Structures are given as structure tokens and as C-alpha cells.
């Protein structure tokens, strides 16, 4: 026998769309009532200057892993550092990139030669126990367009340091720099050579958005160039399309 809905059931079914419509209309009215008009002259809330920037905890994930460096290399525990989940205030260094401390080029944190400081960073260093070769990697993140300024300051610092005295050998180190294509948004390479050294050093800085990747390499017989390029490309690629 075919079921015929009762009058009560028909009333419930007929009323259902009306109930849904009323609920929807009520929600819109409530949402509108929950947003009172902002009084004239009310100042806007200050924007977070670090919004969208990667933290040190995130940046360390983009550093090349131990497997990248191959046999003989081990991480230097003293060189493993990052700024953690918080942001730091960028340093306002009085150092002029036109009058830098040129000896900073010989350290793993050589980007400090520019006098610029970021809001987050991550870094580590690897050394080869068999050859004494050294490879270092670092990522620093800056606010606004400051990352591009770092590259400009690096070029100025390099021009201001055609030579400097090695604090260990007391010999003169030659410094050469040039803009580099094919890496990130822009890149700059610095080559250090000294007749007293077994091999020279290659330093590369790559900007990707608001981040600056810096590497140092003394590996190989080409002043560390091939390894530095490979590492710079690896770390820059790991940053992906993130703003920081």
C-alpha cells in the first residue's frame, strides 16, 4: 500500500525551508550586530613587522643535511645555532660597509662584514677531519627590503677590502668579488686567496625574497667554488617560495 504523509508531516516538511531561511537571515543579522562601527579618529592597530617571516626554527629545516657533505665531514657543534621560534630585534650596527672589518671575511659568519642584522637566523659548520676543509651554511631573514640592502653592502665591503692580513699566517689575503647569476633573486660571490694557504675560500651570498643564504667553502682544488655553488643552490632551493 502506498504511504500517504499525514497532514502533520506535511506541515513539518513545508516549514523546514522557512526555518532554514530564517536561521540564515538571523545569522547575517547577528554578524552585522557583532561589528560596531569604529569611532572616528581611532588609530589603526600597528602591523607586525615580522608577519610572514620565517623563524630560526623554520630556517634550520632548510639547511643542507649531514648527508650532503659526504664522507669525512662532521658538524662542528659549536657552530650550530639558530634564533629559535622567536624574532630578535635587528641590530643597528654603526659599522659602515665602506669601512668594514675586513678580517670578518675569514670567518664562517662572514656576512657580518656588512654590519646588517636580521630578525631570525640558522647556521651550522662542517669540517673534514682528513683534509681540514671547511664548509659553512647560514640563512638570515630581514624585514622589508633589507635583504636586498645586504647584497649592496656586501659589494661595498668587498670593494673596500682588496686585501687584508690573515691573523694566523700574518700574510696578505686577496679579495675579489662579483655579482653572480643563476642563484635566487640575486647573488654575490667573494673569492679569498693567499699564497700561504693550501686552498682559497669561496663565499657566496644569495638573496631569496627576504632571506639571505650565505655559504663558505674551502673544499676541492678550485678555492672551494664548486662546493660553494652546489650548497648555495641546495639551501636556496629548500627555502621554496616562502617569503622568508
C-alpha–C-alpha distance, residues 114 and 95, integer Å: 8
Can you give the CATH number for the domain in which 116 is found? 3.40.1000.70
Range of the domain at 90: 56-238
86 within domain boundaries:
yes
pLDDT at 169: 93
162 within domain boundaries:
yes
pLDDT at 98: 87
128 within domain boundaries:
yes
92 within domain boundaries:
yes
124 within domain boundaries:
yes
> Mind listing the pLDDT tens digit for each residue in 19-40?
333 333 343 444 444 556 666 6
96 within domain boundaries:
yes
pLDDT at 43: 66
pLDDT at 17: 40
Supply the DSSP string of the chain, one letter for each residue.
------HHHHHHHHHHHHHHHHHHHHHHHHHHHTSPPPPTTPPPPPPPTTTTPPPHHHHGGGSPPHHHH-TTEEE-GGG-EE-TTS--PPPB----TTS--GGGGGSTTGGGGG-B--SEEEEEEEEETTT--EEEEEEEE-STTHHHHHHHHHHHHHHH-SEEE-TTT-PEEEEEEEEE-SSSSEEEEEEEE-TTSSS-EEEEEEEETTEEEEEEE--SSSTTHHHHHHHHHHHHHHTTT---
Q: Which of 132, 188, 184 is nearest to 155 (CA)?
A: 188
Give the residue ranges of the chain where pLDDT is below 50. Answer: 1-33, 242-244
pLDDT at 21: 35
Instruction: Give me the number of domains the chain comprises.
Output: 1
105 within domain boundaries:
yes
106 within domain boundaries:
yes
pLDDT at 233: 98
Amino acid at each position: 500500500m502506498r504511504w500517504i504523509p499525514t497532514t502533520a508531516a506535511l506541515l513539518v516538511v513545508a516549514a523546514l525551508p522557512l526555518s532554514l531561511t530564517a536561521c540564515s537571515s538571523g545569522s547575517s543579522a547577528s554578524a552585522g550586530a557583532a561589528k560596531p562601527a569604529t569611532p572616528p579618529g581611532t588609530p589603526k592597530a600597528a602591523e607586525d613587522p615580522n608577519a610572514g617571516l620565517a623563524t630560526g626554527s623554520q630556517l634550520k629545516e632548510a639547511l643542507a643535511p649531514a648527508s650532503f657533505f659526504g664522507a669525512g665531514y662532521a658538524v662542528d657543534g659549536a657552530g650550530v645555532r639558530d634564533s629559535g621560534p622567536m624574532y630578535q630585534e635587528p641590530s643597528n650596527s654603526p659599522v659602515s660597509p665602506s669601512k668594514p672589518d675586513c678580517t670578518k671575511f675569514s670567518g664562517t659568519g662572514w656576512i657580518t662584514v656588512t654590519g646588517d642584522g636580521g630578525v631570525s637566523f640558522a647556521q651550522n659548520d662542517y669540517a673534514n677531519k682528513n683534509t681540514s676543509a671547511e664548509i659553512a651554511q647560514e640563512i638570515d631573514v630581514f624585514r622589508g627590503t633589507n635583504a636586498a640592502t645586504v647584497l649592496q653592502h656586501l659589494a661595498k665591503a668587498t670593494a673596500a677590502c682588496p686585501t687584508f692580513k690573515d691573523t694566523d699566517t700574518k700574510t696578505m689575503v686577496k679579495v675579489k668579488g662579483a655579482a653572480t647569476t643563476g642563484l635566487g633573486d640575486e647573488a654575490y660571490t667573494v673569492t679569498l686567496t693567499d699564497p700561504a694557504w693550501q686552498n682559497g675560500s669561496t663565499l657566496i651570498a644569495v638573496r631569496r625574497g627576504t632571506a639571505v643564504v650565505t655559504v663558505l667553502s674551502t673544499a676541492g682544488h678550485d678555492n672551494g667554488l664548486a662546493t660553494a655553488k652546489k650548497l648555495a643552490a641546495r639551501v636556496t632551493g629548500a627555502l621554496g617560495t616562502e617569503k622568508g
